Structure 1
Amino acid sequence: MGAIRFDNVGRVYGGKQGSVEALKGVHLDIADKEFMAVVGPSGCGKTTCLRFVAGFDQPTSGTVSVDDVRVTSPGPDRAVVFQQFALMPWKTVRGNIELGLRNNGIARAERDDRIERILALMNLTSYADAFPHQLSGGMQQRVSIARAYVLDPDVLLMDEPFGALDAQTRVVMQEELVRLARRNPRTVMFITHAVEEAVYLADRVAVMARQPGRIKEILDIRSVREAERWDEHEKIEDVMDLESFVHLRTQIWRSLRQEKAMEIA
């Protein structure tokens, strides 16, 4: 199970110029196996919130919990995919995917079984013995996602994972993630600056405000996601063609523009 809860979370940073309140009163519930995208202006605390769930940082006030257990450190129930691929250049695709399993003490036979299944699921089998420098950026990020998924985490934390990719590769990776989430659902907290990406991928979108960072509104877009139809191999109908998709995208853009206008003023 992977339900996430932010309960009145705040974060204050100290410095020579005095303290800065980065986050204040953040309340957010992400249900088990729900895909939650978080968008907001730069500096609003999106990545800080993700780091709280990962256990890399701690709030100054309030609590962050997974399945009602307060998060105080990293754990095998949570896996993180960053914008930068962070692959070991001296290891093959198979070796990079195996690394976390080995660190978690998984027996060799089970490691091999898990690796073969995730290679097949991510269409990486023919690249298993390739090194990162031999792969495109999109393929390297696919390996990063496979490395996270193979750990069988309850929670997958993704911090702008497609931000470094070109536009065409980004669309392909978004489709791959949708396909993967349908076949092997996990609780996902997905940080992005791209509104269209958030609406395309998520069940709900949380819009954050800044100064200090907080949840401004949450939009339920499951109806858009459910309207997209797939057969076994490809989409039959794309959500981006739906009027409801355009309406939600526009609504979120307006909310973010309001934040930017307040920042400039």
Structure 2
Amino acid sequence: MSNIVFSNVSRSFRREGKNFLALDDITFSVQEKEFVAVVGPSGCGKTTCLRMAAGLEFVSNGSVAVGGKEVKAPGPERAVVFQQFALFPWKTVSENIRFGLRSLRVPRNEAEDRIRCNIRLMGLEGYESAYPHQLSGGMQQRVAIARAYVLNPTVLLMDEPFGALDAQTRTVMQEELLRVGRANPRTVMFITHAVEEAVYLADRVVVMTRRPGRIREIINIKSIRDAEGWQQYERIEDVMDLESFVHLRTQIWRLLREQNERVAN
């Protein structure tokens, strides 16, 4: 099992002598090999949720479990991809991808096979000896994703991985991630501010409220995608024109606008 389960999770911080409640009673799950996107206003605790699943932060109340085990620390079954590429500038593409395998003490021959497989998977052939500064932003993020995939994680935690990319590159990377996900499905928790991105990529979308972050609603995308046959379309612009896509996008936007208007009033 590689599911992620948040059970009545709250997270509070101590700030200037007072308790600051960031998350309040968060309960949702990401099923095995399901892609769940989390959206919400800035500061609602989306990234905090992801960091707790990664074992980089801890709950104040409740629990976070992965594969039936409570998360108490980072683990090799969970790989994280951040918005900033975080590549080593002095290492080549192959060396950056290899980095995590060394800590796992993967035998050299197996490591080389995994690296070649993931370079091919991410369309990085011919760039094995290139350095990060010689790559575009999209190529650098492909390296970062390959570095996560090469560890063979059962869970992929992605924190706005395309947020630093220009619009055209972002669209290409969304299509690539969907392609890679179909070829090598993983349990994915994906944080984003982009509603269209969430609807295009996710099986379900978790919509959070303003701070303290709570679950406002969970939208099932997969049932509509399957019923409408979105899989037949190769490009995101073809899907975005569908009435069902527009309806889902509008539904989520309205939920988010509700939060903004509540603050304004």
Give the TM bin, normalised by the shorter chain. over 0.9
Q: Distance in 1 between matches of 2:106 and 2:210?
A: 42
Corresponding residue for residue 10 of structure 2: 10
The answer (yes or no) to whether the contact 2:175–2:235 under 8 Å persists in 1 is no
3-state SS in 1 of match to 2:263: helix
Q: Please tell me whether residue 39 in structure 1 is matched to residue 39 in structure 2.
A: yes
C-alpha distance after superposition, 1:80-107 (max 9, x if no partner): 0000000000000000000001111101
Q: Distance in 2 between matches of 1:241 and 1:34?
A: 25
> Where do 5+ consecutive residues of structure 2 fail to align?
none
Q: Distance in 2 between matches of 1:100 and 1:91?
A: 13
Corresponding residue for residue 145 of structure 2: 145
C-alpha distance after superposition, 1:131-161 (max 9, x if no partner): 0000000000010000001101010000000
| Code of the aligned partner of 2:134 | Q
| Code of the aligned partner of 2:53 | V
| Code of the aligned partner of 2:165 | L
User: For the aligned residues, what is the CA RMSD?
Assistant: 1.4
| Code of the aligned partner of 1:73 | A
3-state SS in 2 of match to 1:127: coil
**Shift of residue 238, structure 1, vs aligned partner:** 3.3
Q: Distance in 2 between matches of 1:230 and 1:138?
A: 25
**Shift of residue 241, structure 1, vs aligned partner:** 2.2
The answer (yes or no) to whether the contact 2:38–2:206 under 8 Å persists in 1 is yes
Corresponding residue for residue 186 of structure 1: 186
- 1:12-27 matches, within 5 Å, as 12-27=12-27
C-alpha distance after superposition, 1:208-259 (max 9, x if no partner): 012311111000000343322359xx55993212110000000000000000
3-state SS in 2 of match to 1:27: strand
| Code of the aligned partner of 2:32 | D
3-state SS in 1 of match to 2:126: helix
Compared with structure 1, are the counterparts of its residues 198 and 242 closer, same or farther at alpha carbon in structure 2 (3 Å cutoff)?
same
The answer (yes or no) to whether the contact 2:41–2:210 under 8 Å persists in 1 is yes
TM-score after normalising by structure 2 = 0.96
Residue correspondences, number: 263
| Code of the aligned partner of 1:201 | L
Q: Distance in 1 between matches of 2:175 and 2:54?
A: 25
**Shift of residue 190, structure 1, vs aligned partner:** 0.3
- Single out whichever of 53-62 and 14-23 deviates more from structure 2: 14-23
**Shift of residue 111, structure 1, vs aligned partner:** 0.2
1:228 to 227, 230, 237: 230
Corresponding residue for residue 109 of structure 1: 109
The answer (yes or no) to whether the contact 1:199–1:248 under 8 Å persists in 2 is yes
TM-score after normalising by structure 1 = 0.96
**Shift of residue 15, structure 1, vs aligned partner:** 1.7
| Code of the aligned partner of 1:142 | R
Q: Distance in 1 between matches of 2:200 and 2:157?
A: 17
The answer (yes or no) to whether the contact 1:53–1:65 under 8 Å persists in 2 is yes
The answer (yes or no) to whether the contact 1:200–1:225 under 8 Å persists in 2 is no
3-state SS in 2 of match to 1:25: strand
Compared with structure 1, are the counterparts of its residues 249 and 131 closer, same or farther at alpha carbon in structure 2 (3 Å cutoff)?
same
Q: Distance in 1 between matches of 2:207 and 2:32?
A: 20
The answer (yes or no) to whether the contact 1:63–1:70 under 8 Å persists in 2 is yes
- 1:107-256 matches, within 5 Å, as 107-226=107-226, 227-230=229-232, 234-235=234-235, 238-256=238-256
The answer (yes or no) to whether the contact 1:230–1:237 under 8 Å persists in 2 is no
Q: Distance in 1 between matches of 2:216 and 2:236?
A: 34
Q: Distance in 1 between matches of 2:80 and 2:54?
A: 7
| Code of the aligned partner of 2:55 | G
- 1:57-68 matches, within 5 Å, as 57-68=57-68
